[in-house]
């Protein structure tokens, strides 16, 4: 029990210590999709180069224990924006094409906090947290959405690009939608003769390996079905260019700042269809080429900051929404062309798992003059951005909000002696499986495994076997389960995990 209290009170101390003078730098959070820890050259990749991300890492802080909170897209993004672990939020697993807005209007978010601090706020890129209530009304106002939870402006890919529809959403509307050609989106084939990835498989320019055989657009089968909105549809190859164009224009418009941009490109998620100028640029196939394209986007944003002389007054965070996957439903050569590349670096698992490869990600912060360049081993997570950026900008976080977001600002800024998290929960898509890292130890178990009935004292002798236990300091690849040899530690970590679940929050209440 003492250990649990100790573990939970350290972040509270951090919260008070960090009540410092407010700073209002511009803030850009750049989140990649499915980019693994080992997919960038600053984390050891040798089979491809990511010079722009490497440059940020050289000029800023590269985290070796930077995490996202889940091993799929929607839950990580929901928790990044809301500061609450996704397993506490209903229906926060991978959102379907017609899924409603998951984060309800009125919820405190990174965006609403920064808006309160006087920031202009925008999201450009993949949303994938649902739109509308009870479903998106594609031909009318698409709300609630980002604009109802703190963003002033949005330019979105509404779901994820292997799901229908391939249209942009600008603020509350599908861009370029001709009312005479309404957009219909559904999960059933709209007509017997509607061409699909099954009936017209021979026409596809990228074949599917599982799923992704609904409506065909741009020669690629998708999850789900849609008709209409022909003038509104984009080409997959042009997505990255559009994100950069939209972001640069918005930054330019708000150059007098302060501004907060959540840049959420689609690379390197499937279908991997980078622009023609990146195709074939790596030996890893389209997956590698998409990494290069993502790195290019980072470089273009940096160029804009330099041109507008904003770099010194801008905090950049680069991260990813989950670990890597090779075949995620399309035959794009990622498996065959992998060679010696290690997408998850030294870590086990990847997307969909709660092993380290699922959530330990490239994580870099840069703020020239304020962040001393270096490498940090402190544990930080995307779920912490809410409380940390609130602290940076002098905002307090509502008592009932951002329930798992810790103020790790000093660690993000690399302050001397600053500590990150002492523990971190990791989840799979729907939170059925959880990981808990405490210091160098890692527990992996089912969320619902029966809590221990063992009484104090007896636990050490005869604990129920609940989960696997790894010592990351000696075994970063999580191959050697030490649960049987460390029953006390196993018990303590299970107790802490049970408490985090039962308390409904892990950010200490005041
Ligand atoms: C899965 C899809 C996968 C991908 C994932 C979401 C199949 C068989 N698999 O259900 O292709 O779309 O959902 O990825 O359809 S995420 O990064 O957006 O979470
Ligand atoms: Ca993802």
144 lines ligand 1 (CB under 6 A): no
Closest ligand 1 atom to residue 126 Cα is 18
Residues 46 and 167 in one domain: yes
Q: Final residue of a domain: which of 421, 445, 469?
A: 421
- 9 in any annotated domain: no
Task: Name the residue at shortest CA distance from atom 16 of ligand 1.
Answer: 73
| CATH at 461 | 3.30.1120.10
In percent, the amount of the chain with pLDDT more than 90 equals 91
- 220 in any annotated domain: no
- 118 in any annotated domain: yes
Residues 118 and 31 in one domain: yes
Mutational pocket test of ligand 1: of 36, 68, 72, the residue with most ligand atoms within 8 Å of the beta carbon: 72
Q: What is the pLDDT of residues 167-178, one digit of tens each?
A: 999 999 999 999
Q: What is the pLDDT of residues 476-498, one digit of tens each?
A: 999 999 999 999 999 999 999 99
pLDDT of 449? 75
The answer on pLDDT for 355 being more than 90 is yes
Residues 268 and 246 in one domain: yes
Q: What is the pLDDT of residues 452-479, one digit of tens each?
A: 544 454 444 444 569 999 999 999 999 9
Residues 300 and 391 in one domain: yes
Residue 394 CA to residue 390 CA, distance in Å, equals: 6
159 lines ligand 1 (CB under 6 A): no
Question: What's the Cα-to-Cα distance from 317 to each of 28, 118, 460, 487, 491, rounded to whole Å?
Answer: 6, 20, 43, 38, 36
Ligand 1 mean position, distance from CA 209 (Å): 12
* b/e code 383-410 from CB counts within 10 Å (16+ = b): bbbbbbbbbbbebebeeebbbbbbbbbb
pLDDT of 2? 43
Distance of CA 47 to the CA centre of its chain: 24
Q: What is the pLDDT of residues 227-274, one digit of tens each?
A: 999 999 999 999 999 999 999 999 999 999 999 999 999 999 999 999
Q: What is the pLDDT of residues 445-454, one digit of tens each?
A: 999 876 554 4
DSSP-assigned letter for residue 431: S
Task: Name the residue at shortest CA distance from atom 8 of ligand 1.
Answer: 211
pLDDT band at 509 (very low <50, low <70, confident <90, very high): confident
Residues 417 and 475 in one domain: no
Q: What is the pLDDT of residues 121-160, one digit of tens each?
A: 999 999 999 999 999 999 999 999 999 999 999 999 999 9
Report the DSSP pairing between strands 153-157 and 259-264.
unpaired
Q: What is the pLDDT of residues 310-323, one digit of tens each?
A: 999 999 999 999 99
- 76 in any annotated domain: yes
Closest ligand 1 atom to residue 212 Cα is 15
3-state SS string over 132-163? CCCCCCCCCCCCCCHHHCCCCEEEEECCCCCE
- 222 in any annotated domain: no
Residues 44 and 174 in one domain: yes
By three-state DSSP, how is residue 326 classified? coil
Residue 16 CA to residue 391 CA, distance in Å, equals: 10
Task: Name the residue at shortest CA distance from atom 6 of ligand 1.
Answer: 94
Closest ligand 1 atom to residue 160 Cα is 18
Q: Final residue of a domain: which of 379, 394, 421?
A: 421
Q: 461 or 436, which is more confident? A: 436
Q: Final residue of a domain: which of 390, 421, 452?
A: 421
> Which ligand neighbours the alpha carbon of 129 most closely?
1
In percent, the amount of the chain with pLDDT more than 70 equals 93
Residues 417 and 436 in one domain: no
Task: Name the residue at shortest CA distance from atom 18 of ligand 1.
Answer: 73
> Which ligand neighbours the alpha carbon of 159 most closely?
1
Range of the domain at 402: 24-181+233-421
- 396 in any annotated domain: yes
- 226 in any annotated domain: no
Tokens 């999960």 found at:
187
pLDDT of 480? 98
**Domain count within the chain:** 2
Other CB atoms within a 10 A radius of the CB of residue 348 amount to 18
Residues 394 and 462 in one domain: no
Residues 238 and 275 in one domain: yes
Q: Where in 52-95 does DSSP place strands (E)? A: 61-67
52 lines ligand 1 (CB under 6 A): no
The answer on pLDDT for 8 being more than 70 is no
Residues 311 and 449 in one domain: no
- 87 in any annotated domain: yes
The answer on pLDDT for 21 being more than 60 is no
Ligand 2 mean position, distance from CA 191 (Å): 31
| CATH at 370 | 3.40.720.10
301 touches 263 (CB < 8 A): yes
By three-state DSSP, how is residue 202 classified? helix
pLDDT band at 14 (very low <50, low <70, confident <90, very high): very low
Residues 408 and 277 in one domain: yes
pLDDT of 451? 59
Residues 6+ apart with CB under 8 A from 232: 167, 168, 174, 175, 176, 177, 178, 183
Tokens of 164: 């229908």
Residues 6+ apart with CB under 8 A from 303: none
Closest ligand 1 atom to residue 73 Cα is 19
Residues 437 and 470 in one domain: yes
Q: Pick the closest to residue 243 from 219, 210, 266, 273 (CA basis).
A: 266
Task: Name the residue at shortest CA distance from atom 12 of ligand 1.
Answer: 162
Mutational pocket test of ligand 1: of 69, 86, 211, the residue with most ligand atoms within 8 Å of the beta carbon: 211
């Amino acid at each position: 029990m003492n250990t649990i209290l100790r573990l939970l009170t350290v972040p509270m101390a951090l919260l008070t210590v960090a009540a410092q003078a407010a700073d209002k730098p511009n803030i850009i959070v750049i989140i990649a999709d499915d980019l693994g820890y080992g997919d960038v050259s600053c984390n050891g990749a040798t089979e491809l180069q990511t010079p722009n991300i490497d440059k940020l890492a050289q000029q800023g802080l590269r985290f070796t224990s930077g995490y996202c909170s889940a091993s799929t897209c929607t839950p990580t993004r929901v928790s990044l924006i809301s500061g609450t672990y996704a397993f506490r939020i209903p229906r926060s697993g991978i959102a379907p094409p017609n899924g409603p807005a998951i984060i309800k209007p009125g919820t405190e978010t990174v965006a609403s906090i920064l808006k309160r601090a006087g920031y202009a706020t925008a999201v450009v890129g993949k949303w994938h947290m649902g739109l509308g209530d009870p479903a998106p009304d594609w031909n009318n106002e698409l709300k609630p959405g980002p604009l109802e939870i703190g963003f002033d402006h949005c330019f979105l890919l509404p779901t994820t690009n292997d799901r229908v529809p391939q249209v942009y959403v600008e603020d509350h509307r599908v861009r370029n939608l001709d009312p005479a050609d309404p957009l219909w989106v559904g999960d059933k084939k709209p007509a017997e003769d509607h061409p699909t990835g099954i009936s017209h498989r021979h026409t596809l320019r990228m074949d599917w390996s599982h799923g992704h055989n609904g409506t065909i657009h741009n020669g690629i089968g998708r999850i789900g079905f849609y008709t209409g909105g022909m003038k509104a549809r984009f080409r997959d190859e042009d997505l990255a260019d559009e994100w950069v164009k939209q972001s640069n224009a918005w930054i330019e418009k708000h150059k007098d700042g302060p501004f907060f941009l959540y840049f959420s490109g689609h690379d390197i998620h499937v279908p991997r269809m980078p622009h023609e100028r990146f195709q074939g640029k790596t030996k890893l196939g389209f997956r590698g080429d998409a990494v290069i394209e993502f790195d290019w986007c980072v470089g273009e944003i940096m160029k804009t900051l330099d041109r507008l002389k904003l770099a010194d007054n801008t905090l950049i965070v680069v991260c990813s929404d989950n670990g890597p996957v090779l075949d995620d439903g399309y035959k794009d050569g990622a498996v065959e062309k992998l060679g010696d590349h290690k997408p998850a670096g030294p870590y086990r698992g990847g997307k969909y798992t709660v092993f380290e490869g699922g959530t330990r990600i490239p994580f870099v912060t840069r703020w020239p003059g304020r962040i001393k360049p270096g490498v940090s081993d402190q544990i930080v997570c995307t779920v912490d951005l809410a409380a940390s950026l609130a602290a940076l900008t002098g905002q307090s976080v509502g008592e009932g909000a951002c329930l798992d977001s810790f103020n790790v600002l000093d660690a993000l800024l690399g302050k001397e002696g600053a500590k990150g998290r002492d523990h971190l929960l990791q989840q799979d898509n729907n939170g059925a499986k959880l990981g808990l890292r405490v210091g160098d130890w890692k527990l992996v178990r089912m969320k619902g495994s029966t809590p221990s009935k063992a009484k104090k004292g007896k636990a050490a002798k005869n604990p129920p076997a609940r989960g696997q236990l790894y010592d990351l300091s000696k075994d970063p690849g999580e191959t050697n389960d030490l649960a049987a040899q460390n029953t006390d530690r196993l018990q303590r970590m299970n107790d802490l995990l049970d408490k985090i679940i039962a308390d409904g929050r892990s950010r200490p209440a005041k």
